[in-house]
Amino acid sequence: MLHAMGTGMGLEFERFVGLLQTDAYIYIVQPLLFHLHLMDYDEDAYDALYWAVVGVLEIAVTFAILRPLEAWRPIEQWEQRRALWPDVWYTWIAKLGIVNALFFVWLQPTINHLETWMTVKNIWTVNLDEIAPGLTDQPLVSFAIYLVVLDFLGYWYHRWQHRFGIWWELHAVHHSQRQMSLWNDDRNHFVDDIVQTAFFTVVSLFIGVQPGQFVVLVAVSNTLQAIQHVNARLPYGWWLERVIVSPSFHRRHHAMEYGHTGTAYGCNFGVLFPWWDMIFRTASWETAVEPTGITDQLDRPEQRGRNYGKGVWAQQWLALCRIKARMTAASAAAVDSRYERS
C-alpha cells in the first residue's frame, strides 16, 4: 500500500508539473522564442521549463510555510530587511534554473561525452537492481538510498569548501550573510553552483539515479535546506535533531568563530543529516544564539571590516578578487621561499 501511495503521489506530482510546464511553454516561452527567432532552441527551452516550474513551486511552498513562522517566532529581530534582497534574487536565479542553464551550456556536452564513453568502454557503475534484485521496484526505497549516498558526499563536499582557501572564497559568499532567513540557502557564488551541479550530476550518473528521481532529490534537498536557514525558533527535540539537520544545528555552522573559523575548520557540515558530523566528530549541539557571518566582517579599532559586497554582482566580483589576492600572495610566498633557500 505504501509503495502504491508513493508511486501514485509521484505520478500525480509529475503530471501536475507537466501541465504547468506545457502551459508556460505554449503561452509564454514559445511566443517569446518565435519573436526572438530562437525556435531552434524550442526543445531545450521546454525541457528547462520543468526545473523552472519545480523551482517556483518550491519557492511558493517554502515562503507560505516559513515566512509566517519567521514573523511569529523569530530568532533575531532586525531593524530592516534590506540585506535579504540579494538572497531573494539568488533564490529566483537558482530556482528558475538560470545557473543550471549555464551548466548545460558549458558542461553538459562533457557530461554527455562521459556517459557515451562509459557505455562504449563498459565502465562499471553502481546498479541497485544488480546489487539487490527487485530493489528498484520500490521507488521509496531506492529514493532513500540515493538520498543518503548523495548526502554523505554532500557532507564531504561541504567540508572541502571550508578546507581549501580558493574554494572557501567562493563559499564565503554564502556565509557573509549576517541575517539568516528562509532565502539564505541559494546565496552562493555561481561558479561554485556550477561546479557543485557538475559534481553531483556525475556522481548520480555513476550510481544510476534516473533523471526523474534526480529532480525530486534536488527539490527535497533544497526545501529542507531552506528550513535549516529559517529565522524562526523550531524546536526539533533531542531525537529528531539527531535524525535530520535542524535550524539550530545549522545556525551553529554559520556562527562566527564556531561554525567555520574554529577548531578543525568548523562544525556541523551535514547537508540534510547530522549523522556524518556525529561519525566524523564535527558535530556541535550548542543551542546558544551566536552572531552569524564571517569574523573579518567586523570593524576593529585599527581597521574596518572586510566588505563582501551588498548586491549580487558585487558579491560575485569580490569573491574573484579575493581569490586573485590569495593566489598572488601564495605566488609571492613561493618566490620568497625559493630566494631564501638559494
Tens of pLDDT, residues 241-251? 999 999 999 99
Give the pLDDT band (50/70/90) at residue 153: very high
CA dist., res. 179 & res. 81, Å (int):
8
Instruction: Calculate mean pLDDT across residues 99-106.
Output: 59
CA dist., res. 14 & res. 3, Å (int):
16
pLDDT at 182 over 60: yes
Higher-confidence residue of 339 and 183: namely 183
**What is the SS3 assignment for 65?**
helix
Nearest one of 170, 203, 216 to 189, comparing CA atoms: 170
Nearest one of 266, 215, 276 to 244, comparing CA atoms: 276
**Run of H or E residues at 89:** helix 85-95
Nearest one of 220, 275, 219 to 249, comparing CA atoms: 275
Tens of pLDDT, residues 265-275? 689 999 999 99
Tens of pLDDT, residues 35-92? 777 777 777 778 778 878 888 888 999 999 999 999 999 999 888 888 899 999 999 9
**Run of H or E residues at 162:** helix 139-163
**Pair 244, 272: CB distance under 8 Å:** yes
- The letter for the amino acid at 49 is L
Tell me the three cell numbers of residue 316.
560575485
CA dist., res. 69 & res. 186, Å (int):
19
Tens of pLDDT, residues 295-313? 889 888 888 889 999 999 9
pLDDT at 146 over 60: yes
CA dist., res. 307 & res. 293, Å (int):
12
Which residues have C-beta within 8 Å of that of residue 286, sequence separation ≥ 6? 252, 258
Cβ-in-10-Å burial (0-12, 13-18, 19+) of 162 comes to buried
**What is the SS3 assignment for 184?**
helix
Average pLDDT value over all residues in the chain? 82
CA dist., res. 310 & res. 96, Å (int):
22
**Pair 3, 141: CB distance under 8 Å:** no
Cβ-in-10-Å burial (0-12, 13-18, 19+) of 101 comes to middle
pLDDT at 337 over 80: no
**What is the SS3 assignment for 19?**
helix
Tens of pLDDT, residues 277-290? 999 999 999 888 88
pLDDT at 6 over 90: no
pLDDT score at 152: 95
CB atoms near residue 142 (< 10 Å): 19
pLDDT at 101 over 80: no
pLDDT score at 78: 86
pLDDT score at 233: 92
